[in-house]
Amino acid sequence: MPDLNYGAVGSFRESAPYRAIVASAGRWIDRGVDGLRLDAAKHIYSDEQGAENPAFWAGFYDDVNARYRETHADDIYMVGEVLSDAQHAAPLYRGLPALFEFSFWWTLRDRLNSGRGSDFCATVGSFRTLYEGYRSGAVAATKLSNHDETRAATDLGGDAGRMRLAAAVLLTASGEPYVYQGE
């Protein structure tokens, strides 16, 4: 699939592809959608760690949210998928209010499989502190696995006890939990 060319980050709002995706989001809003999941959010501009991607998403969020607020009192929900560790994903909070929390799952999986989890809360808490440095009120969209990863049950060796514990931690930890189909 070819990349869309949004042009330079300073003028992306004037590009035809950008106007088209904002219009498409508007059509979904008209159909009653109140949230959007944004796949591969770090891949809009080629430098995954550059300032361009957060700037793009900040503009997109602002433009789509303005359209949403024409008919709603609250803000639209947007969650970005950034398949990276917390350090590399965190800058995208400059542009989006919520990101899928891959480091949460990777940390939980490793602690459950090793049987040593005494540092789990402190480690996950450090992710939250990191995110808040980029966006006040940053939403960690916690999850176990997703369509880009091995399923949680496989990662946990099919162990029913570890799977139940993973689900319990997911549903009781801070953040907004997502349950992938079948988990």
Q: Which of 52, 81, 101, 155 is catalytic?
A: 81
Q: Active-site residue 81, yes or no?
A: yes
Query: What's 149's DSSP letter?
Result: S
**Other beta carbons less than 10 A from residue 41's beta carbon:** 26
Q: Which of 3, 39, 148, 159 is catalytic?
A: 39
Encoded tokens for 128: 């939250």
Q: Active-site residue 70, yes or no?
A: no
Q: How far apart are CA 183 and CA 173, in angstroms?
A: 17
For residue 172, give Cα distances in angstroms to 85, 126, 169, 178: 22, 17, 5, 12
DSSP 71-125: T-SSPPEEEE---S-HHHHGGGGGT-SEEEEHHHHHHHHHHHHHT--TTHHHHHH
Q: How far apart are CA 99 and CA 176, in angstroms?
A: 10
| Residues acting as catalytic residues | 39, 81
